Chains A and B, each alone.
Chain A
Amino acid sequence: MNYPIWIVPQIGGPWVIGIIAIIHIFLSHFAVGGGAFLAVAEWLAYKRNDSRLYDYVKSHSRFFILVTTVAGASTGVAIWFSISLVSPDGTASLIQSFTLAWALEYLFFVGELATAFAYYYSWDKISKENHLLLAKWYFAMSVMTLAVINGILTFMLTPGRWVETRYWLDGVLNETYLPSLVIRLLIMFAIAGMYALVTATRIKDEELRVYVVKFCAKWLLPVFFLGPIASFWYLSQVPQVTLETIFTGIQSSGVGNFSVLARALYLSLVFSGTIIVFAYFGPYLNPKGFTFKIALLFMLCGFIATGSTEWMREMLRKPYVVYNYMYSNGIRKSQVEELREKGFLTQAKWANATNPVKTDTTCGEKLFQYQCMACHTVDGYRSMKRLIGERDEDSIVSFLKMMDPKNKENPYKGIMPPFAGTENEAKMLAKYLAGINKTNN
């Protein structure tokens, strides 16, 4: 509320973050799992005394370095740009609360980059043992960056004791920290196998290709056996209200209400299941027939599975950006009462500064931009034009009143944040919303 708002038409700001984040996650998970893959594959080449396998690992490392350091790093920076533009309050809160954690993460990231380049540029230049040691160091560094980032990501759903103590380690080492770390590591190994399948299917020597393709498929085994257990562990730690939202979503999927979270869960389950079955019937049972094109298709499945799983994870904490602390629109839970008494527009500095005319409609539009646009657009994703339909001002005001935080019967409780403003502001917002289907047609 104290920063400029970034209006992204049609898809809305959150999807800008979402698209960049999903690409980044698919790359960064490869950066961690791929480190383990390089270390194991190189060790295997030495153990088998197989120069052909050694050459493959060497060429795969070039692909690895290019993908992770160029695409991975640039999408990482893009995430920072997008989150600070779309959710400046949330970003500021994360930076202020976890300054030391970010510093640590940066330290490990620099270590990760240094060992990655040292590893790539020292092929055939240092001893086998030292080269392998570099791979292990790289993996250790990348796991440490994961360990820190995982703490901050899980904090957003389960802030743990941080809510009372405000101590950063209490936030990082929260309830879902460990199960999430295990799940991510398992997924990283699977993703490493998927990326490696792309390079493995390009091997010309058929015997080696068959061997490496089958070897790559085995990297999906850990997630196959341990993934369901880790997922149950994770779900057992998420807030009960969130679980109830999932079950409500499943029950009402056919009617179409409240089921976005459930659908994200279904998609995640279907694509994850597909990957496992695909890996078994494809590269594992039929490595000879597993071609480069199929490997790319397989990776696309992996990308969609990652996307839907991350989407589901994001949906789990709705309507918060930091669970039980800050709503998706950047308003802190503790601020709501004060804003309902004193008014939102009197407190929101930037909203006031950018609204010189101050009619009911322009004030309503500002309220919409600051309180609704974190999830809705005017006529695109979660379109307000569509959702408002024929509703008039009175029915919109009633709807806003229903979202009172004290109203226990509010069916949108776990889905939408309460309206944080005075009754008069609610009327202004209603006036603006009731008019969007008329004025913008």
Chain B
Amino acid sequence: MFFGKREKRKLLYWFERRLHASPLIELALHKKVPVHKHSVWYYFGGISMLLLMVQFVTGILLMVYYVPELGSAHASILKINSSIEFGWFIRSLHSWGANLMILAVFVHFFSTYFMKAYRKPRELTWLSGVLLLVLCLGFGFTGYLLPWDEVSFFATKIGLDISSKTPFIGELVALMLRGGHNIGQATLSRFFAIHVAVLPVMLMGLLSLHLAIVQAHGMSAPKEFNETPEDKKEYEPFFPDFFLKDILVWILAGNLLFVLTMLCPWGIGPEADPFAPAPIGIKPEWYFLAMFQFLKLIPPMVGPMEGELFGVLLMGVYALALALVPLWDTGESEARSKLATALGVVTLLFMVIFSAWGAMS
């Protein structure tokens, strides 16, 4: 419109001399996406990214008004919800966005797991993805305390008490996170710093690595697709075909987020009173609920071991086996492949059933 072809070429050349971006553009233009019946799962990585962006933007806006100080934290959230123009909207976007993001990351996790996308040469993609999931849960855990209301206070207290049961490092980590033996100003300050600085930096680094490896190896495809003769395999270019569909999915994900935000704005409970008894029925956020419910079922003592310690150990070993799946299911053994699938199904069922049970009990 404003530039002719010649001017455009000159402008592109100017940028190219300074950025040397043509290899990246070439890579993007030649990137192709396998088309098969499980292609729909590819979108969840993109959805997680979109929701992460929402978290960054809304998080920065919330920081303008949020005060991480014991006497002001709750009041500042109340102010955001009631006095600041559209403060309720930004906060609800942040809270709903966090929950949807964790859900999308879980779906992404299980879809890549069941598609065996962790196998050679994508072991590091998988491991970086698992770490990203852990970071997302860390975001959820640290962010939950910040409003300093009754539920968040006691849920955090229970969460820290459980994590302190982790052998060797548990007590030390819990002590460092709390900044002492009780939850107070030091805890709030530490959680705030971790939530807005430590975790974002770690996440950005790890995410960059994750995305770089994904680009290097291309999109993984399920076994049936890989076994199809080359001339019958169907691909679509990432740019613009898949990317435009990605945008449609983002629009729908954004739509869901807006609808939840507007129909059910995120509220806030009464201010936390550390000296008050814990209210009945305190539960952690839904993504920790399955583990919480599982721990509740374990008797106080399992043999010579404390029940909670036994539960934490059991879940730790189980999670480690899942995280290290690329090392023992390399695709060479059919039996191990089936075992990995079975483990995934059990994990998924465990999470759904125990979360629902926890929510209802």
Contact of B251 among A251, A277, A286 (CB under 8 A): A277
Query: B251 contacts A254, CB within 8 Å?
Result: no
Task: Answer whether A286 and B265 are a contact pair too, CB < 8 Å, given A254-B81, A271-B255.
Answer: no
B248 touches A278 (CB 8 A): yes
Contact B265 A294 (CB under 8 A): no
Residue A266 at the B interface, CB < 8 A? Answer: yes
Check: A297 CB closer than 8 A to any chain B CB. yes
Q: Check A263 for interface membership: any CB of B closer than 8 A.
A: yes
- Does residue A267 face the partner (Cβ distance < 8 Å to B)? yes
Distance (Å) between the CB of A282 and the closest chain B CB? 5
A251-290 vs B, CB cutoff 8 Å, 1 = contact: the mask equals: 1111110000001001100110010011001100110110
A289 and B262 contact, CB distance less than 8 A? no
A221 interface residue per 8 A CB criterion: no
* Chain B, 235-257, CB within 8 A of any chain A CB: 236, 240-241, 244-245, 247-248, 251-252, 254-255
- Given known pairs A282-B248, A297-B252, the reply for A263 and B88 (CB within 8 Å) is no
In contact, A270 and B82 (Cβ under 8 angstroms):
no
Could you list 12 A-B pairs, sorted by A, with CB under 8 Å? Answer: A252-B82, A253-B265, A254-B81, A270-B258, A274-B251, A274-B254, A274-B255, A278-B252, A282-B244, A285-B244, A289-B236, A301-B252
Q: In the assembly, what is the distance between CA of A297 and CA of B249, in Å?
A: 11
Q: Which 4 A-B pairs have the closest CB atoms?
A: A254-B88, A286-B244, A254-B81, A266-B262
Per the bound structure, the CA–CA distance linking A251 and B258 in Å amounts to 17
User: How close is B61's CB to chain A, nearest CB, in angstroms?
Assistant: 14
Q: Which A residues are in CB contact (< 8 Å) with B245?
A: 286, 289, 294
Q: Which residues of B contact A252 (CB under 8 A)?
A: 82
B244 touches A281 (CB 8 A): yes
B25 adjacent to chain A (CB < 8 Å): no
Contacts of A297 in B (CB 8 A): 252
- Supposing A253-B265, A254-B87, A267-B263 touch, asked if A285 and B240 sit within 8 A by C-beta, the answer is yes
- Answer yes or no: B89 CB below 8 A from chain A CBs: yes
Q: What residue of chain B has the Cβ atom nearest to residue A265's Cβ?
A: B262
- Distance in Å from the Cβ of B339 to the closest Cβ of chain A? 34
Report B251 CB to chain A, min CB distance, Å. 5
Is the beta-carbon distance between B262 and A278 smaller than 8 angstroms? no
Question: Interface size for chain A: under 10, 10 to 19, 20 to 34, or 35 or more residues?
Answer: 20 to 34
Provide the residues of chain A in CB contact with B241, threshold 8 Å.
286, 288-289
Minimum CB–CB distance from A15 to chain B (whole Å) comes to: 15
Contact between A281 and B251, CB atoms less than 8 A apart:
yes
Tell me the residues in window 116-166 of chain B with beta carbons closer than 8 Å to chain A beta carbons: none
User: B89 to A253, Cβ gap below 8 A?
Assistant: yes
Mask: chain B, 72-101; 1 = CB below 8 Å from A; 0 = not: 000000001110010111011000000000
Among candidates A253, A267, A271, A286, residue contacting B88 with C-beta atoms closer than 8 Å:
A253
How many chain-B residues does the 8 Å CB contact rule pick out? Answer: 26
- Chain A residues with CB below 8 A from B252, complex form: 274, 278, 297, 301
- 14 further A-B contacts with Cβ under 8 Å, apart from A254-B81, A270-B255, A289-B245, are A251-B85, A252-B82, A266-B262, A270-B258, A274-B254, A274-B255, A277-B251, A278-B251, A281-B244, A285-B244, A286-B240, A286-B244, A294-B248, A301-B252
Using CB atoms and an 8 Å cutoff, list the residues of chain A in contact with chain B: 251-256, 263, 266-267, 270-271, 274, 277-278, 281-282, 285-286, 288-289, 294, 297, 301
B259 in the interface (beta carbon within 8 A): yes
CB-defined contacts of B236 to chain A, threshold 8 Å? 289
Contact, CB under 8 Å: B81 / A255? yes
The number of residue pairs between A and B whose CB atoms lie closer than 8 Å in the complex comes to 62
Contact B262–A281 (Cβ < 8 Å): no
Closest chain-B Cβ to A206's Cβ sits at a distance in Å of: 14
Q: Chain B residue with minimal CB distance to A250?
A: B86
Do residues B258 and A266 form an inter-chain contact, with CB atoms below 8 A? yes
Q: Which residue of B lies closest to A262 (CB)?
A: B262
B263 pairs with A263, CB closer than 8 A: yes
Q: Which residue of B lies closest to A274 (CB)?
A: B255
A353 to B222, CA, bound (A): 71
Whether a CB of chain A sits under 8 angstroms from the CB of B267 is: yes
Closest to B266 in A: A254
Q: A251 vs B251: C-alpha distance in the bound complex, in angstroms?
A: 26
Chain B residue with the shortest CB-CB distance to A301: B255
Contact B263 A254 (CB under 8 A): no
Among residues of B, the one whose C-beta sits closest to the C-beta of A253 is B88
Q: Tell me the bound Cα distance from A263 to B240 in angstroms.
A: 35
- Verify B88–A281 contact, CB threshold 8 A: no
Docked-complex contact B244 and A289, CB < 8 angstroms: yes
List of B residues within 8 angstroms of A267 by Cβ = 259, 262-263
| Interface pair A256/B265, CB less than 8 Å apart | yes
- With both chains docked as a complex, state the minimum distance between the C-beta of B268 and any C-beta of chain A, in angstroms: 10
Give Cα A270 to B258, complex, Å: 7
Task: Return chain B residues, CB-CB under 8 Å to A251.
Answer: 85
Alpha-carbon separation in the docked complex, A294 to B39 (Å): 14
Contact B259 A254 (CB under 8 A): no
Q: A266 — which chain B residues lie within 8 A by C-beta?
A: 258, 262
Q: Which residues of B contact A286 (CB under 8 A)?
A: 240-241, 244-245
Name the residue on B nearest A300 (C-beta).
B252
Write the chain B residue with the least CB distance to A286.
Answer: B244
B-chain residues with CB within 8 Å of residue A271 when the two chains form the complex: 255
Closest to A252 in B: B82
Q: Which B residues are in CB contact (< 8 Å) with A263?
A: 262-263
CA distance A367 to B177 in the complex (A): 59
Closest to B247 in A: A281
A266 to B92, CA, bound (A): 14
CA–CA, A251 to B241, complex, Å? 41
Which residues of chain A are near B81, meaning CB under 8 Å?
254-255
* Complex-state Cα separation, A251 to B265, whole angstroms: 13
Which residues of chain B (200-242) have a CB below 8 Å from chain A? 236, 240-241
* Interface flags, B259-282, vs A, CB<8A=1, else 0: 100110101000000000000000
Q: In whole angstroms, what is the CA distance A260 to B52 when docked?
A: 29
CB of A254 within 8 A of CB of B255, answer no
Contacts of A289 in B (CB 8 A): 236, 241, 244-245
Distance of B108 from chain A, by nearest CB (Å): 20
Interfacial chain A residues near B259, Cβ < 8 Å = 267, 270
Query: Nearest Cβ in chain B — how far from A289, in angstroms?
Result: 5
Residue among A253, A255, A266, A278 facing the most chain B CB atoms (10 A cut-off): A253
Chain B 315-346 near chain A by CB (<8 Å), digits 1 or 0? 00000000000000000000000000000000
Nearest A-chain residue to B84, judged by Cβ: A254
A265 → chain B, closest Cβ, in Å? 9
A residues within 8 A CB of B258?
Answer: 266, 270
User: How far does the alpha carbon of A285 sit from the alpha carbon of B246 in the complex, in Å?
Assistant: 13
Q: Name the residue in B80, B92, B240, B251 with the highest tally of chain A Cβ atoms < 10 Å from its Cβ.
A: B251
Interchain CA distance A251-B88 in the complex, whole Å: 9
Asked if residues A255 and B244 are in contact (CB atoms below 8 Å), the reply is no
In the assembled complex, the Cα of A255 lies from the Cα of B89 at a distance in Å of 11
Cα–Cα distance between A263 and B236 once the two chains are bound (Å): 40
Closest beta carbon of chain B to A294's beta carbon, Å: 7
- With CB as the reference atom, state the residue of chain B lying closest to A282: B248
Nearest-CB distance from A350 to chain B (Å)?
Answer: 37
Q: Find chain A residues with CB under 8 A from B251 CB.
A: 274, 277-278, 281
Q: Complex Cα distance A278/B246, Å?
A: 11
